[in-house]
Amino acid sequence: MPDISRVGVLGCGQMGSGIAQVAAMAGFPTLVRDLDAGLLARGERSIQQSLEKLVDKGKLDASTRDAALERLTYTVELADLAGCDLIIEAVTESLELKNELWRALDPLCGPGTIFASNTSSLSIGDMAAATRRPEQFVGLHFFNPVPLMPLVEVVRAVATSRETFETALVFARRLGKEPIAAPDRSGFVVNRLLVPYLLDAARARESGLASTSDIDRGMQLGCGHPMGPLTLLDFVGLDTVVRIAEVMFEEFREPRLAPPPLLRRMVVAGLHGRKSGRGFYDYATNPPTPVDLGL
């Protein structure tokens, strides 16, 4: 089984920075690549803040935090990733964008380098086919917030070799995560169940079934969910969920997977959830208050 000694991460948004953090915490020298210094600085800050939280809560000691920070390096150059044994991509959910990166990286990397995508909905096979290494292409789907959520879906596409799949399972366990095997079908296992639920919650709000806070409190207090569905939509990002739903709708053509008009209107209006400061809730206040959506 190939040894993973150096990890590359493409993109340092919410997911990429979390993935880089857990890789560095698990002892892997980790190189993070994004488009410009501003994005890299934002990713680095969020890693520092997350590590700080873990230290404050007594879940991590300061020397382990410092060692993790030392294992992290940052670059804007794609070519710097050439020496990595595993490259995990966590950029915007666009097949064109992802494949553009894979096509550029493929000739730069050695034949043994494994490519992995953190996509939530796109086909791993569609990305693998853009490279000359479909056997060394796998899905590694993490959950938000990456440092806290124990699950990783490991996705074996039609052409993924058993060795690559096994290496990805071992890698996920080395990060301290619990892997499950998932098929290369849009949404894998978790989003296949979660996304229709989130879209139904947005439809419930749109149709006036209940208020924002009652929908959330209902699912928290009635079903023991840590977050209500509208809070979770804000947390994942409304733009991201709309994009995932569109891809899943394209694959399965089920009406329940079509993003409801309210979500599209909110995205167009810039209400992307927690990351933009407003979504179903306004995060300028503490605690956040429901936004008047004109319904």
Q: Backbone dihedral region of 294: left (phi > 0), alpha (psi from -120 to 50 degrees) or beta?
A: left
Exactly one of 17, 30, 113, 120 binds ligand CAA (CB under 6 A); which one?
Answer: 120
Q: Is 48 in the site for ligand CAA (CB under 6 A)?
A: no
Task: Identify the active-site residue in 121, 153, 186, 272.
Answer: 153
What angle is formed at CA 92 by the lines to CA 142 and CA 90, rounded to 5 degrees?
Answer: 35
- Looking up tokens 């919650």, which residue turns up? 201
Q: Is 276 a catalytic residue?
A: no
Q: Is 50 in the site for ligand CAA (CB under 6 A)?
A: yes
- 241's CB contacts (< 8 A; 6+ apart) are 195, 198, 199, 233, 259, 263
Distance CA 59, CA 51 (A): 9
Q: Is 63 a catalytic residue?
A: no
- The answer to whether 115 and 4 are in contact (CB under 8 A) is no
Q: How far is the CB of 241 from ligand CAA (least distance, A)?
A: 7
Q: Is 232 in the site for ligand CAA (CB under 6 A)?
A: yes
Distance CA 187, CA 119 (A): 9
Q: 3-state DSSP call for residue 142? A: strand
Q: Is 246 a catalytic residue?
A: no
Residue 287 or 294: which CB sits closer to ligand CAA? 287
- Reading across the β-sheet that carries 86-89, which strands appear in turn? 72-75, 30-33, 7-10, 86-89, 114-117, 137-142, 151-156, 178-183
Total residues at the site for ligand CAA (CB under 6 A)?
16
Q: Is 144 in the site for ligand CAA (CB under 6 A)?
A: yes
Q: Is 144 a catalytic residue?
A: no
Exactly one of 69, 82, 149, 204 binds ligand CAA (CB under 6 A); which one?
Answer: 149
CB atoms within 10 A of CB 23: 28
Residue 26 or 82: which CB sits closer to ligand CAA? 26
Q: Which stretch binds ligand CAA (CB under 6 A): 25-33, 68-76, 145-153, 247-255?
A: 145-153
Exactly one of 38, 111, 224, 226 binds ligand CAA (CB under 6 A); which one?
Answer: 226
Residue 4 or 124: which CB sits closer to ligand CAA? 124
The site map against ligand CAA for 263-282 (x = CB under 6 A) is --------------------
CB atoms within 10 A of CB 270: 12
Task: Identify the active-site residue in 120, 121, 123, 186.
Answer: 120
Q: Catalytic residue positions?
A: 120, 141, 153, 191
Instruction: Enumerate binding residues for ligand CAA (CB under 6 A).
Output: 50, 53-54, 57, 120, 143-145, 147-149, 191, 226-227, 232, 236
